[in-house]
Amino acid sequence: MTDSYNQYLAYHEGQGGWKKKSFNSKIWLLNAAKKVESNVYKYNNQLMECEKKLNKLGATSFKTFDKTKERVNLFSTISGKKKLNEGGIILSGHTDVVPASNKGWASDPFVSTKKDNKIYGRGSCDMKGFIACTLALAPYFASENLKKPIHFSYTYDEETACQGAPVMLKELQKRKINCSVCIVGEPTNMKAIQAHKGCYEYSTHFFGLAGHGSAPDKGVNAVEYATKFINKLMELRKELKKREPKNSIFTPPYTTLQIGRIKGGIARNVIADQCTVDWELRPVVFEDGVFVNQTMDKYVKDVLLPDMKKTHPECSIKKEIIGEIIGFNKEEKSEAVNLICNLTGDNSRDVVSFGTEAGLFQEIGISTVVCGPGSIEQAHKTDEYVSFDELKLCLKMLIDLKDQISN
């Protein structure tokens, strides 16, 4: 089986369940993992079709991969008839989506359904609508005498701490491809977004000692210690509100912290020997991330672990860093933001609390803006959709971009 198959099982069962192979007794889960594996092949093939389409138009492309070689980034460049290489504009989108089950959906979440002037499906809003628009306009960019190249950047695993973008950007720098502007097409109702918070994602794993539920003092309950860990995080949530920077441009104006998932134990009468807490931090300033991590690391080292080891010296707590994505910072004079405002005719500039890969492009010196069709209010939800009206606005923006950079 492939890495995607195994990762899906491990995600659902946790480290303890994975080691014990508890998934083998769950036929429904094994079938779901096989479907995920099948979808990986299907979606990678679809990405390769995108590459073929762009290359037929005269684009030059390169791909980068994760360590398993299963997840793929695609970067394609249309230089136009003049074959220019400097000062290009990147149209950036991510190819992954968050999970979805058929439960609660009015239609199959992984089949595009057109109804009531909307396109329904997982990822239609976040953010395949933008990718579809860029591909639709590719032939028109290719037919022009462009003043600067257009780059199509499609990355993997944005939804899990933007794991694909850094791999692609490293290769971009290695190849010395110099770009002036990046448009990240996340759903913003086609408004120019000039800043957002960072996004730090963690999984903290607790390893205790199993035993019979009738004798709790003879075991070390990983779930109980995970609960203490969470309670400490909730204390820090209050502290973060007090650390709100003056004149913060974000809503909410302070760094947020939340628990996404808790998984541990096998039965109510068994002392849980393992538990995992998935949590995230969205810092307004870098110092808040340092504050939370140092505080929690000290609490684990000085309080939780010594108490666990009194009963069983082999107990442990391990922090897994899923990703620490830097924020996207407001610039006083942004070429990218000014470009979008000029193209859309809307001079409003906003900020958001959700994260994107924008800060990563900005970090390597590319002026960046977030702007795309759809509303974030529809993303990650049952019956996710993007309206045709939003897609038309995006197409018009890209057509105007083509006209602006063409002779």
Domain ranges of the chain: 57-196+327-404, 204-325
Confidence of residue 291 (pLDDT cuts 50, 70, 90): very high
Region 346-362: mean pLDDT is 94
How far is 254 from 235, CA to CA, in rounded Å? 15
Q: Is 2 a residue whose pLDDT tops 60?
A: no
Region 110-130: mean pLDDT is 96
This prediction has a pTM of 0.85
Q: Of the listed 158, 288, 357, 390, which one is catalytic?
A: 158
Q: Can you read off the two tokens belonging to residue 311?
A: 């009963």
Q: Of the listed 66, 96, 244, 331, which one is catalytic?
A: 96
Q: Which fold has domain 204-325?
A: Alpha-Beta Plaits (3.30.70)
Per DSSP, the residues of 249-281 read -SSSSS-EEEEEEEEE-S-TTEE--EEEEEEEE
Confidence of residue 45 (pLDDT cuts 50, 70, 90): confident
Mark whether 158 is an active-site residue.
Answer: yes
Region 298-307: mean pLDDT is 98
Write out pLDDT tens, residues 105-117. 999 998 999 999 9
Name the CATH superfamily for 57-196+327-404.
Zn peptidases (3.40.630.10)
Q: Can you read off the two tokens belonging to residue 82?
A: 């003049």
Please give the pLDDT value at position 16. 65
Region 334-363: mean pLDDT is 96
Please give the pLDDT value at position 1. 47
Please give the pLDDT value at position 83. 59
Q: How far is CA 205 from the centre of its chain?
A: 22
Write out pLDDT tens, residues 185-236. 999 999 999 999 999 999 999 999 999 999 999 999 999 999 999 999 999 9
Q: Is 81 a residue whose pLDDT tops 70?
A: no
Q: Is 135 helix (H, G, I), strand (E, B) or coil?
A: helix
Confidence of residue 43 (pLDDT cuts 50, 70, 90): confident
Which residue from 220, 234, 228, 226 is spatially nearest to 263, judged by alpha carbons? 226
- Give residue for tokens 């400490």: 232
Please give the pLDDT value at position 84. 60
